[in-house]
A and B are shown apart, each in its own frame.
Chain A
Amino acid sequence: MKRILNTLCRELRMLRHHPRYMILLTAGILFSYVFFLTFMHEGQPENLPIAVVDHDGSYLSRRLCHELNATQGVDVVAIYDTHREAREAMQRQEIFAFLEIPAGTYSELLDFKTPHIALYSNNAYLLSGTLSYKTLSTIGKLASAAVQREVLRKKGLAESQIMGMLQPVEIDTHLISNPWGSYLPYVLTTMLPGIIGVMALLFTIYMTTNELKHNTYRLWIASADGDMLCALLGKLLPYTFWFTLLGVVGNIVMFGFCHFVCRGSFLALSATMLLFILAMQSMGVFIAGLIPDQHLAVSIGGIYGMLSFSMAGFSYPVDSMPPALQALSYIFPLRHHYLAYAKTALFGGTLADYWPHICLLLLFLVPGLVGGLLLMRQSVGDEGCVPSVSNNKQSV
Chain B
Amino acid sequence: MMKQTLNNIYSGLQDIFEVFTLELHRIFTDGGVMLIFFVATLLYPLIFGAIYKYELVRNLPVAVVDDSQSEPSRRFIRKMDATPEVNVDFCCRTLEEAEALMRQRKINGIVYFPKEYNNQLVIGEQARLCLFCDMSSFLYYRSVFTGASSVMLDEMKQIQLERYAMAGTTGAGAEEMITAIPYDDVKLFSPAGGFTSFLVPALLALVIHQTLFLGICILSGTIREEGQTVAVIPERLRNRSVYRVVIGRSIAYSMLYIPLVAIDLVLLPRVFGLPHIGRLGDLCLFLLPFLLATISFSMTVGAFVRERDTVVLTCIFFSVILLFLSGVVWPRSNMPAFWRFFSYLFPSTHGIQGFVRINSMGAELRQVRFEYLMLWIQAGTYFLTSCLLYRLFFLHERLKKSAKLTDII
Contact = CB atoms under 8 A, between A and B. Distances in A.
Interface in A99-150: 105, 109, 112, 114-130, 133, 137, 140, 143-144, 147-148
Given A21-B310, A91-B362, A315-B137, A39 B317 contact: no
A80 to B, nearest CB: 15
Interface string B170-201: 00000011111111111111110101011100
A320 B57 contact: yes
State the main secondary structure of chain A at its contact with B.
helix
Contacts of A155: 167
Contacts of B183: 116-119, 137, 140
Nearest to B196: A316
B329 interface: yes
Interface in A309-355: 309-311, 313-317, 319-322, 324-325, 338-339, 342-343, 346-349, 353
Nearest to A145: B180
State the main secondary structure of chain B at its contact with A.
helix
Given A39-B330, A109-B180, A300-B35, A307 B47 contact: yes
A395 interface: no
Nearest to B111: A171
A161 interface: yes
A65 to B, nearest CB: 15
Contacts, number: 337
Interface in A163-179: 163-165, 167-178
A348 B104 CA distance: 11
Interface in B322-372: 324, 327-336, 338-339, 353, 356-357, 360-364, 367-368
B184 A118 contact: yes
Interface string A340-379: 0011001111000100000000000000000000000000
Contact of B160 (A96, A140, A168): A168
Contact of A168 (B54, B127, B141): B127
A181 B163 CA distance: 34
Contact of A169 (B156, B190, B324, B363): B156
A386 interface: no
Interface in A191-215: 191, 194-195, 198-199, 202-203, 206
A169 B155 contact: yes
Interface stretch (A3-11, A43-51, A223-231, A275-283): A43-51
B78 to A, nearest CB: 15
A290 interface: no
B134 interface: yes
B188 A96 contact: no
A175 B141 contact: yes
A165 B157 CA distance: 10
Contacts of A383: none
A160 interface: yes
A171 B54 contact: no
Interface stretch (A238-246, A266-274, A291-299): A291-299
B319 interface: yes
Nearest to B40: A303
A313 B137 contact: yes
B312 A202 contact: yes
A388 interface: no
A396 interface: no
Interface residues of A, number: 119
Contacts of A14: none
Contacts of B103: 343, 347-349, 353
B177 to A, nearest CB: 6
B31 A123 contact: no
A316 B148 CA distance: 20
Interface in B348-406: 353, 356-357, 360-364, 367-368
A124 B189 contact: yes
B209 interface: no
A128 B189 CA distance: 13
A255 interface: no
B251 to A, nearest CB: 24
B149 A171 contact: yes
A177 B313 contact: no
Interface residues of B, number: 113
A39 B342 CA distance: 11
B199 to A, nearest CB: 8
Interface stretch (B1-9, B118-126, B232-240, B286-294): B118-126
B131 interface: yes
B258 interface: no
Contacts of B328: 125
B259 interface: no
B51 interface: yes
Contacts of A126: 190, 193, 195, 198-199
Nearest to A93: B357
B32 interface: yes
A306 interface: yes
B140 A317 contact: yes
A116 B126 contact: no
A90 B314 contact: no
Contacts of A348: 103
Contact of B35 (A41, A296, A305): A296
B133 interface: yes
Interface centre among A35, A124, A325 (most CB of B within 10 A): A124
Contact of B189 (A21, A88, A122, A172): A122
A167 B128 CA distance: 10
Contact of B332 (A35, A93, A173, A325): A93
A117 B181 contact: yes
Contacts of A256: none
Contacts of B335: 39
Contacts of B128: 169-172
A178 B138 CA distance: 11
B129 A169 contact: yes
Contacts of A203: 313
B48 A310 contact: yes
A295 B32 contact: yes
A38 interface: yes
A176 B149 CA distance: 17
15 contacts: A38-B338, A39-B324, A40-B330, A91-B362, A116-B184, A137-B185, A144-B182, A147-B177, A163-B126, A167-B156, A169-B159, A295-B32, A313-B137, A315-B199, A346-B134
Interface of A: 21, 24-25, 28, 32, 35-36, 38-42, 45-49, 87-88, 90-93, 96, 105, 109, 112, 114-130, 133, 137, 140, 143-144, 147-148, 151, 155, 157, 160-161, 163-165, 167-178, 181, 183, 185-186, 191, 194-195, 198-199, 202-203, 206, 293-296, 298-303, 305-307, 309-311, 313-317, 319-322, 324-325, 338-339, 342-343, 346-349, 353
Given A161-B124, A346-B135, 7 more contacts: A91-B364, A109-B181, A123-B197, A123-B198, A167-B126, A198-B317, A314-B137
